[in-house]
Amino acid sequence: MKMKVALLTGNELRHKYFASFISSYPGIDLKIVVHETNNKLKENPLYAKYKIVKAHVDLRKKTEYVYFSKFQKKK
């Protein structure tokens, strides 16, 4: 019997990859995926105040794109 799953996650590329990855398992029936946006990050005072925090977030996004883009379907 398949496990029915509802997934609530972020809208970053790594989260979309995870949703796709678990949906490929034969024992999982992914019923719904809700991707939430995180627009508050750039309003966070730490993001604006500390260059190291901004650098970390920006590098994470860049690295995520480089790594996970190779898994995206070719059009």
Q: Structure tokens of 22?
A: 């678990």
Q: In whole angstroms, give the CA distance from residue 43 to residue 49.
A: 11
pLDDT digits (tens, 9 = 90+) for 33-71: 998 876 677 777 888 788 898 898 889 889 988 888 776
What is the domain extent for residue 42? Answer: 3-71
pTM of whole model > 0.85? no
pLDDT category, 75, cuts 50, 70, 90?
A: very low
The contacts of residue 34 (CB under 8 Å, 6+ apart) are: 6, 7, 8, 9
Contact 57, 5 (CB under 8 A): no
- The count of domains in the chain is 1
Q: In whole angstroms, give the CA distance from residue 66 to residue 59.
A: 11
pLDDT digits (tens, 9 = 90+) for 7-31: 998 888 888 888 989 999 999 999 9
